[in-house]
A and B are shown apart, each in its own frame.
Chain A
Amino acid sequence: MKQTTQSILISGGRVIDPVAKVDAPMDVLLRDGQVAEVAAPGKVHAKTAETIDARGMIVAPGFIDLHVHLREPGQGYKETIASGTAAAAAGGFTSVCCMPNTTPVLDSPEWVTWVRQPQRGAVVNVFPIAAATQASKGAVLTDFRALQRAGAVAVTDDGKPILSETTMRDALRTSAEINFPIVQHAEDTRLTQNCSMHEGASSFRLGLRGMTAAAEANIVDRDVQLAQQFNGARLHVAHLSTADALTAVRRGKRNRARVTCEVTPHHFALTDADVHEYDANFKMNPPLRTGEDREALIVALSDGTVDAIATDHAPHARHEKIVEFERAAFGITGLETALGLATSILHVENKIPLVRIVELFTAGPARVVDLRGRGTLLHGSHADVTIFDPKKRWTYDAAKTRSKSHNSPFSGRQLIGKVVATIVGGKIVYRG
């Protein structure tokens, strides 16, 4: 990001920084693109170009989203890097990791470089996650070292799993050698052909073929076992959605494997029973699961099993979603509703402390992909800050989104908790 000499004082807010173990009223001074000072209220004495009155607000490190589809190159009718990052800023995200299932697939250092160029018009930091195999076909691994040097922060074949055990083993071996995370979309696609939602009472009622929980859990289980075979291998489970997969992750963490996982807001907000009238805005992969799965995810978000909340923001055009449910594209948008859903459901309904929620949006994801100097407001960190009002009641309207696509199941939903300002590299990129 462009650095700025502009300085900003954020005064009177409640600073929550899990890394610094701070949860107190503090003033924050940003200068030259860095966090210059965090001090007791009224103790920062500096001439600043701008002061943000943050009384009644939470001042947090900038949010990081590990799982966003920005759709460029090649699918600009769904989203562009500019429009997707504008939506990210409105959702309080100062950094996003973009997925490689673009056209062409992001499987070369050249394309990784292209995504990061300033001409793309990103308004927040973009950290590409490159393809793990060539064209994400699952057969031949990409050059992890070259991708890492070009700026990729991890590799994945997201949208598809790395199904072959040999390929996954090779990927994890290299991961251990170069300290590079492998992100897995865990789905045994041999069990999910022609499936459009979760297998259960709702899929039976609607006459739709369902994906079993085992199709996810079996792959997570296998991957965790493989990761344990290579000292230092890093496995990150994307959009984990079932209680059984959580069991596998817990086992891996107990055995000191470097296993991390993320959970999406829609999986802790909705269940398969919400797929009522074939509305494809409730169709995504992994699908909405049962109430028991949802409860298990909320426990795991609370107890530390889950490392990050990630949106899996997946914009699609109307003509790809307003079609027969079984023919509709998988995926929903999510950048602008993530915080509101987290505060409403995790904090207000389930009493998870705000400090834990902030951690899931900041320090947690920063650790997963090693974003140094981000996810905290420690002195000298990047001046990425998210300011939000945890009590603000509002209603989401997908028609007013900054994304190019409107495929959200949460349009019209009342939320508690709203982003007030998003600051990237010391520059205000969003004000609510």
Chain B
Amino acid sequence: MQTTKVMEKRTAARGSLLGIEHLSAADINGLLQLAQRMSPAKPRPLLRGKRVLLLFYEASTRTRTSFEIAAQALGASTTLVLSSGSSIEKGESLLDTAYTLRAVGADVIVIRHPNGGAPNLMAGYVDIPVINAGDGMHEHPTQALLDAYTILRHKKKLSGLNITIVGDIYHSRVARSAIHLFGKLGAHTTLCGPPELLPEVAGTLAKDLRISRSCEEAVRGADVVMILRVQRERLAGLKISLPDYIARYQMTTARLRLAKPDALLMHPGPIIRGLELTWEVADSPHSVIVEEVHNGVPVRMAVLARALGKGN
């Protein structure tokens, strides 16, 4: 009888970044310090000859382009594989796709996927680093890192800051990663939203986490206010209506005034002006929304460099 070669489950390859949850504060600080030495304006050919595979099962503008620019700034080549127009459409499994990409010479796989845990699955069966570029409702670790990086451009440290996150926490991978990161670096985090988008159980995700149903109360005295996008279709079927949501949770100039005078206003994008925030707030001096996008590149350069052992 022929024997079958069974792929055994392994621990993720060194340099993988699957989420913030399992990183230590030292890991996070190390990445942030490395990011400060990275700039797309000053390319460093640390990864010359390396192949970065970008495997995207979901649409993306910011994350995808900044990973591409980051990889190229480090001298690596990039190849983009989209789920449409590839063998994935023909029913190829995630692991078979991973083996294929490994076989053509990928050195690292950056994956975005609609199912939570897809990067964990892939990392459990390939011997190259896997970087999570957003998986379902689970995590989006590079977004949390670039948010921390952005905050640190304006504040000395995260420890002790009051950070308020307003919006659809339940469906947000950005929120989960941010909550883990802020908790690990010693910030006091307040979550705010209606119960449908922010269940009580969210309070169990990290230490020193507070839930508030009042936007005014949540924002008062905040050093950082992070707004999350609300998707219209996700309000459908819930008890809360769009006008209700806007009345109670939209970030307005009046609400933002309750935060500290030097508070930062953040949003992972894409923003919907007139829904989760007003246009005045989006364009106010507090807003670092555009800077966040800009900072995505050095942070992803740091993540890629670390993935391929060039992070020192």
Binding site for B on A (CB under 8 A): 200-201, 204-209, 277-278, 318-319, 322-327
Complex: chain A residue closest to B176, CB-CB: A207
The answer on a CB contact under 8 Å between A326 and B136 is yes
Is the beta-carbon distance between B201 and A322 smaller than 8 angstroms?
A: no
20 A/B residue pairs, CB under 8 Å, sorted by A: A201-B204, A205-B176, A206-B116, A207-B116, A207-B135, A207-B137, A208-B138, A277-B117, A277-B120, A277-B124, A278-B121, A318-B6, A322-B95, A323-B94, A324-B113, A324-B117, A324-B121, A326-B116, A326-B117, A327-B115
Question: Cβ of B170: which chain A residues have Cβ within 8 Å of it?
Answer: 204
The answer on a CB contact under 8 Å between B121 and A208 is: no
Pick the 6 closest A-B CB pairs, nearest first. A278-B117, A207-B137, A207-B138, A207-B116, A324-B115, A201-B204
Task: Please give the distance in Å from A363's CB to the nearest CB on chain B.
Answer: 41
Given A322-B95, A323-B94, A324-B117, verify A205-B137 contact (CB < 8 Å).
no
The residue that A323 contacts in the complex, of B6, B121, B136, B176, with Cβ under 8 A, is: B121
Contact of B118 among A200, A204, A324 (CB under 8 A): A324
Residue B202 is within 8 A (CB to CB) of chain A in the complex: yes
B292 at the interface (CB under 8 A from A): no
Residues of chain B contacted by A323 (CB below 8 angstroms): 93-95, 121
Q: In the complex, which of the residues A200, A201, A205, A278 contacts B120, with contact meaning CB atoms closer than 8 Å?
A: A278
Residues from chain B with a CB closer than 8 A to the CB of A205 are: 21, 176, 204-205
Among B117, B138, B176, residue most surrounded by chain A Cβ atoms (within 10 Å): B117
B173 lies within 8 A of chain A by Cβ: yes
Specify the chain A residue showing the minimal Cβ separation from B206: A205
> Across the two chains, which residue of chain B brings its CB closest to A399?
B6
- Return A360 CB to nearest CB of chain B, in Å: 33
Q: Are B93 and A208 in contact (CB under 8 A)?
A: no
CA distance A323 to B125 in the complex (A): 11
B173 touches A207 (CB 8 A): yes
**Other-chain residue from B93, B115, B205 in contact with A325 (beta carbon distance below 8 A):** B115
B139 interface residue, CB < 8 Å from A? yes
Neighbouring B residues of A324 by C-beta, 8 Å: 94, 113, 115, 117-118, 121
A381 to chain B, nearest CB (A): 41
- Known pairs A201-B201, A323-B121, A325-B117; list 6 more (Cβ under 8 Å): A200-B201, A207-B139, A208-B138, A277-B117, A325-B116, A325-B121
Contact of A207 among B93, B136, B204 (CB under 8 A): B136
A279 to chain B minimum Cβ distance, whole angstroms, is 9
Q: Hey, which chain B residues are within 8 Å of A209, CB to CB?
A: 137
Cβ–Cβ < 8 Å partners of A325 in chain B: 115-117, 121
Asked if A204 meets B205 with Cβ closer than 8 Å, knowing A319-B93, A323-B93, A324-B94, the reply is: yes
- Chain B residues 176-221 with CB under 8 Å of chain A are 176, 199, 201-202, 204-205
Q: Are B139 and A204 in contact (CB under 8 A)?
A: no
The answer for the CA separation of A206 and B116 in the assembled complex, in Å, is 7
B120: A residues at CB distance < 8 A: 277-278
Chain B residues with Cβ below 8 Å from A318 are 6
Which B residues have a C-beta under 8 Å from some C-beta of A? Answer: 6, 21, 93-95, 113, 115-118, 120-121, 124-125, 135-139, 170, 173, 176, 199, 201-202, 204-205
Closest chain B residue to A200, Cβ basis: B201
The distance from the CB of A107 to the nearest CB of chain B, in whole angstroms, is 30
Task: Return the contact of A204 from the options B117, B121, B136, B202 (Cβ within 8 A).
Answer: B202
Please report the C-alpha to C-alpha distance between residue A278 and residue B125 in the assembled complex, in whole angstroms. Answer: 13
Q: How far is the CB of B122 from chain A (nearest CB, A)?
A: 9
Q: How far does the alpha carbon of A209 sit from the alpha carbon of B137 in the complex, in Å?
A: 9
Residues of A within 8 A of B139 (CB): 207
**Minimum CB distance partner of A204 in chain B:** B201
Complex contact A206–B202 (CB within 8 A) = no
Question: Which residues of chain B are within 8 angstroms of A277 by Cβ–Cβ distance?
Answer: 117, 120, 124
Q: Give the distance in Å from the alpha carbon of A204 to the alpha carbon of B138 in the complex.
A: 8
Contacts of B95 in A (CB 8 A): 322-323
By beta carbon, the residue of chain B nearest A326 is: B115
A431 to B24, CA, bound (A): 50
Give the shortest distance, in Å, between B139 (CB) and chain A (any CB): 7
Q: Which residues on A sit within 8 Å (CB–CB) of B125? A: 322
Chain B residues with Cβ below 8 Å from A322 are 95, 121, 125
Smallest beta-carbon distance B75→chain A, Å: 33
Smallest CB separation, B295 vs chain A (Å): 24
Return the chain B residue nearest A277 by Cβ: B120
**Interchain CA distance A277-B22 in the complex, whole Å:** 11
- How far in angstroms is the closest Cβ of chain B from A208? 6
A362–chain B nearest beta-carbon distance, Å: 37
* Residues of chain B lying within 8 A (CB to CB) of residue A278: 116-117, 120-121
Complex CA–CA separation, A354 to B125 (angstroms): 42
Q: How far is the CB of B195 from chain A (nearest CB, A)?
A: 13
Contact status B201-A208, CB under 8 Å: no
Min CB distance B274 to A, Å, is 28
What chain B residues lie within 8 Å of A208 (beta carbons)? 116-117, 136-138
CB distance from A192 to the nearest CB of B (A): 15
Cα(A208)–Cα(B173), bound, Å: 11
Which of chain A's residues have a CB closer than 8 A to the CB of B6? 318
Min CB gap A221→B, angstroms: 24
Provide the bound-state CA to CA distance between A147 and B204, in Å: 50
Closest residue to A275 on the B side, CB-wise?
Answer: B117
- Find chain A residues with CB under 8 A from B201 CB: 200-201, 204
Residues of A within 8 A of B118 (CB): 324
CA distance A278 to B6 in the complex (A): 20
Closest residue of chain B to A322 (Cβ to Cβ) is: B95
Instruction: Report the minimum CB–CB distance from B88 to chain A (whole Å).
Output: 12
CA distance A200 to B117 in the complex (A): 17
Bound together, the chains give a CA A322 to CA B7 distance in angstroms of: 10
- Return B182 CB to nearest CB of chain A, in Å: 16
How near does chain A come to B179, taking the closest CB pair, in angstroms?
Answer: 10
CB-nearest residue of chain B to A325: B117
Bound state CA distance, A180 and B139, in angstroms? 50
B100 to chain A, nearest CB (A): 16
Nearest to A327 among chain B residues (CB) is B115
Smallest CB separation, A330 vs chain B (Å): 15
Chain A residues lying within 8 Å of B204, measured Cβ to Cβ, are: 201, 204-205
Q: Which residue of B lies closest to A203 (CB)?
A: B201
Instruction: Specify the chain B residue showing the minimal Cβ separation from A276.
Output: B120
Q: Nearest-CB distance from B135 to chain A (Å)? A: 8
A205-B201 Cα distance, complex, nearest whole Å: 9
